[in-house]
Chain A
Amino acid sequence: MRVPILKQRDYLIASIQSVLSDADLLQLRDDLSQRVGQYRSRGVIIDVTVLDVIDSFATRTLRAIAHMLRLRGAETVIVGIQPEVAFGMVQLGLTLEGIGTALDLEEGLAYLDRKAKRNLHDGK
């Protein structure tokens, strides 16, 4: 199932609606990379609240998405990782190093706003 991507201000919000197959995740990667260019987005929120499992493939793909989007000039923040899912990821030794994470959508927006402000101050 394709993940809907909404545009809000300078940001894109990919709100995952159901469990995703490997192919769905790769589709999300391609869609986001394309939309960031189309809408000149500065930040992307990926809401994974409904995911009941984040395994090694999902972790690898989320990391790839965040790194690709950064190369395209956008920050990524993953929001909504459930407590049990986080527990499972820790057991598996999976990390999302170098990627922003936040509790929920609201915190994710605040995270991107802070990032944008900091970049402004740094003159970037």
Chain B
Amino acid sequence: MTANETRVPITSEADIVTARQTGRSLAAELGFQGADLTLIAAAISEVSRNIVEYAQRGEIVLQPANRGAARGLCVVARDEGPGIPDVAQAMRYGYSSRRGLGVGLPGAKVLMDDFDIVSKVGVGTTITMKKWMRSYAR
């Protein structure tokens, strides 16, 4: 664990709100503006809900991201739940194995710039997603 990490444990649906608010304020601190803040918060909301619905518990880890001159926010959603048997299917828009709209994971991918998912049945799921800052008009 590095010093600039922020961890939000996810154990119930109420934590979804905490996770997205924490993510939003951290993104604002980093310099994100306007609609990007909403997009980041919405993406965190979707991956957090995925944890609650499928794994019951897990965590959201937030930290600043750097790539060359680019600055951004890295969001990791981690759980030790049942895992996703068919990741390609889960990432298909409109597919839901439960009662959802099937928007969650593919939606989060669209909202963020980078999106990576690793899932193993019986082990858990880790989603790593990043949003990079644009140069905002002053």
Contact = CB atoms under 8 A, between A and B. Distances in A.
A10 interface: no
- Quick one: which of B34, B39, B42, B107 has the most chain A CB within 10 A? B42
A39 interface: no
Interface residues of B, number: 25
Contacts of A53: 20, 38, 41-42, 45
Given A21-B13, A87-B35, A88-B111, A56 B20 contact: no
Interface stretch (A90-98, A104-112, A113-121): A90-98
A118 to B, nearest CB: 31
B17 A92 contact: no
Contacts, number: 73
Query: Taking chain B's interface residues, is the majority helix, strand, or loop, or is none over half, making it mixed?
Result: helix
A56 B39 contact: no
A17 interface: no
B101 A59 contact: yes
Contacts of B103: 56, 92-94
B49 A57 contact: yes
A60 interface: yes
A94 to B, nearest CB: 7
A19 B18 CA distance: 10
A21 B16 CA distance: 8
B21 interface: yes
Given A92-B110, A93-B103, A56 B13 contact: no
A9 B79 CA distance: 49
B46 A91 contact: no
B24 interface: yes
A23 B14 contact: yes
A49 to B, nearest CB: 14
Contacts of B10: none
B24 A52 contact: yes
A85 interface: yes
A108 to B, nearest CB: 22
A91 B110 contact: yes
Given A55-B49, A56-B104, A92-B111, 7 more contacts: A22-B13, A23-B13, A57-B49, A60-B101, A84-B38, A91-B111, A94-B103
5 contacts: A52-B24, A53-B41, A55-B46, A55-B107, A91-B42
